[in-house]
Structure 1
Amino acid sequence: MRDEINPAPQAADSEVRQFVTFVAGNQVFAVDMAPVQEIIRVPEVVRVPLAPPTLDGLANLRGKVLPIISLRRIFGYPERPADDASRAVVIDLGQPLGFVVDRVASVVGVDVRQIEDAAGVSTTVRSELLRGLLKDVGGHAMIMVLDFERLIAAEFAQAARAVRSAAVAGLNAGAAAGADDGAAADELQLVSFEVAGQEYAVAIENVQEIVQMPDEIVEVPHAEGHVLGVMTLRQRLLPLVSLRRMFALPERAADEQSRIVVVAIGGAGVGAAVGVVMDSVNEVLRVPLSGAEPVPPLLAREPGMADIARICRLDGGKRLVSIIDAASMFRQDAIREVLENQHMQTHMEEDTGNGRAGSDDEEQLVVFRLGQEEFGVPIDSVQEIVRVPEQLTQVPRAPAFVEGVINLRGAVLPVVDLRRRLGLLHAERSDRQRIMVFVIDGVRTGFIVDSVAEVLKVERRAIEPAPCLSAEQSRLLARMANLEKQKRMIQLLDPRHLIAEGDLAQLAGIEV
Structure 2
Amino acid sequence: MDTDEELGADELDDENTDYVTFDMAGERYAFPMHRVQEIIRMPAVVKVPLGPPSLEGLANLRGRVLPVVNLRGCCSMEQAPHDETTRVIVVDGGVPLGFVVDRVASVISIDPQALEPAESVQSTVRSDVLVGVIKSDDGDMTTVLHVDNLIGSQFSRLSERGSRDTAATARVPGESDGDAESDDTLELVSFAVEGQEYALPIEQVQEIVQAPESVSHVPNAGSRVLGVIDLRGRLLPVVSMRRVFGLPVTPLAPQNRIVVVSIDGGVVGVVMDTVREVLRVPHQLVAPLPNVVEGEGRKSEVESVCRLEDGKRLVSVLSVNRMFDSPEVRNEIADYRDENEEMAVERDRSEADDGRGDEELFVVFRLDDEEYAVDVDTVQEIIRVPEALIRVPKSFDFVEGLVNLRGTVLPVVDLRTRLGLGRTERDERQRIVVLIIGGVRTGFIVDSVAEVARVGRNVLEPAPELSAEQARVVSRVANLPDQQRMLLLVQVDQLLAAEQADQAAELCEAIVDEALVGV
Give matches, 1:74-93, under 5 Å: 74-93=74-93
Structure 2 match to 1:154: 153
Amino acid at match of 1:409: R
Amino acid at match of 2:154: E
Structure 2 match to 1:182: none
Q: CA deviation at 1:505?
A: 1.8
1:142/1:375 Cα in 2 relative to 1: closer, same or farther (>3 Å)? same
1:396/1:52 Cα in 2 relative to 1: closer, same or farther (>3 Å)? closer
Stretch moving more, 412-421 or 124-133: 124-133
CA distance in 2 between partners of 1:353 and 1:149 (Å): 55
1:495/1:14 Cα in 2 relative to 1: closer, same or farther (>3 Å)? closer
In the alignment, is residue 407 of structure 1 matched against residue 404 of structure 2? yes
2:486 corresponds, among 489, 495, 499, to 489
Structure 2 match to 1:508: 505
Give matches, 1:208-227, under 5 Å: none
In the TM superposition, what whole-angstrom CA distance separates every residue of 1:125-176 from its partner, at most 9, and x where no partner exists?
Answer: 7532111111107x66211110010011111111111111111122134365
Q: CA deviation at 1:96?
A: 0.4
In the TM superposition, what whole-angstrom CA distance separates every residue of 1:358-413 from its partner, at most 9, and x where no partner exists?
Answer: 72310100000000000000000000000001111113454443211111000100
- Is 1:52–1:470's contact at 8 Å kept on the other side of the alignment? yes
Stretch moving more, 457-466 or 78-87: 78-87
1:170/1:407 Cα in 2 relative to 1: closer, same or farther (>3 Å)? same
In the alignment, is residue 107 of structure 1 matched against residue 107 of structure 2? yes
**Aligned sequence identity (%):** 49
Amino acid at match of 1:376: A
CA distance in 1 between partners of 2:405 and 2:125 (Å): 56
Q: Secondary structure at the residue paired with 1:424?
A: coil
CA distance in 2 between partners of 1:91 and 1:45 (Å): 17
Structure 2 match to 1:20: 20
1:39/1:353 Cα in 2 relative to 1: closer, same or farther (>3 Å)? farther
Runs of 5+ in structure 1 lacking a partner?
A: 1-12, 178-351
Amino acid at match of 2:423: H
1:374 corresponds, among 365, 371, 374, to 371
- Is 1:120–1:127's contact at 8 Å kept on the other side of the alignment? no
Q: Secondary structure at the residue paired with 1:506?
A: helix
Q: CA deviation at 1:70?
A: 0.5
Amino acid at match of 1:119: E
Structure 2 match to 1:480: 477
Q: Secondary structure at the residue paired with 1:390?
A: coil
Q: Secondary structure at the residue paired with 1:128?
A: coil
Q: Could you tell me the TM-score, scaled by structure 2's length?
A: 0.60
Stretch moving more, 399-408 or 149-158: 399-408
In the alignment, is residue 31 of structure 1 matched against residue 28 of structure 2? no
CA distance in 2 between partners of 1:478 and 1:91 (Å): 23
1:15/1:55 Cα in 2 relative to 1: closer, same or farther (>3 Å)? closer
CA distance in 2 between partners of 1:354 and 1:28 (Å): 63
In the TM superposition, what whole-angstrom CA distance separates every residue of 1:332-378 from its partner, at most 9, and x where no partner exists?
Answer: xxxxxxxxxxxxxxxxxxxx989769723101000000000000000
Give matches, 1:47-446, under 5 Å: 47-121=47-121, 126-136=126-136, 141-174=140-173, 359-396=356-393, 398-446=395-443
1:505/1:424 Cα in 2 relative to 1: closer, same or farther (>3 Å)? same
1:118/1:170 Cα in 2 relative to 1: closer, same or farther (>3 Å)? same
CA distance in 1 between partners of 2:482 and 2:175 (Å): 36
CA distance in 1 between partners of 2:417 and 2:150 (Å): 29
CA distance in 1 between partners of 2:142 and 2:351 (Å): 59
1:120/1:417 Cα in 2 relative to 1: closer, same or farther (>3 Å)? same
Amino acid at match of 2:173: G
CA distance in 1 between partners of 2:383 and 2:43 (Å): 36
CA distance in 2 between partners of 1:133 and 1:447 (Å): 51
- Is 2:365–2:449's contact at 8 Å kept on the other side of the alignment? yes
- Is 2:57–2:68's contact at 8 Å kept on the other side of the alignment? yes
CA distance in 2 between partners of 1:85 and 1:414 (Å): 48
CA distance in 2 between partners of 1:499 and 1:18 (Å): 49
Q: CA deviation at 1:38?
A: 0.2
- Is 2:397–2:417's contact at 8 Å kept on the other side of the alignment? no
CA distance in 1 between partners of 2:147 and 2:415 (Å): 34
Structure 1 match to 2:7: none
Point out 4+ residue stretches in structure 1 off by more than 4 angstroms: 13-16, 122-126, 352-358, 396-400
Q: Secondary structure at the residue paired with 1:53?
A: coil
Q: Secondary structure at the residue paired with 2:493?
A: helix
- Is 2:58–2:68's contact at 8 Å kept on the other side of the alignment? yes
Q: Secondary structure at the residue paired with 1:174?
A: coil
1:470 corresponds, among 453, 467, 471, to 467
Q: CA deviation at 1:476?
A: 0.5
What is the aligned length? 325
- Is 2:461–2:478's contact at 8 Å kept on the other side of the alignment? yes
CA distance in 2 between partners of 1:433 and 1:170 (Å): 48
- Is 1:94–1:167's contact at 8 Å kept on the other side of the alignment? yes
1:444/1:400 Cα in 2 relative to 1: closer, same or farther (>3 Å)? same
Structure 2 match to 1:328: none
CA distance in 1 between partners of 2:493 and 2:158 (Å): 23
Q: CA deviation at 1:489?
A: 0.6
CA distance in 2 between partners of 1:434 and 1:169 (Å): 46
- Is 1:20–1:32's contact at 8 Å kept on the other side of the alignment? yes
CA distance in 2 between partners of 1:363 and 1:124 (Å): 55
Runs of 5+ in structure 2 lacking a partner?
A: 1-12, 177-348, 512-519
CA distance in 2 between partners of 1:397 and 1:113 (Å): 63
1:373/1:15 Cα in 2 relative to 1: closer, same or farther (>3 Å)? closer
Structure 2 match to 1:44: 44
Q: Secondary structure at the residue paired with 1:34?
A: helix
- Is 1:399–1:506's contact at 8 Å kept on the other side of the alignment? no
- Is 2:29–2:145's contact at 8 Å kept on the other side of the alignment? yes
Q: CA deviation at 1:416?
A: 0.5
CA distance in 1 between partners of 2:499 and 2:489 (Å): 24
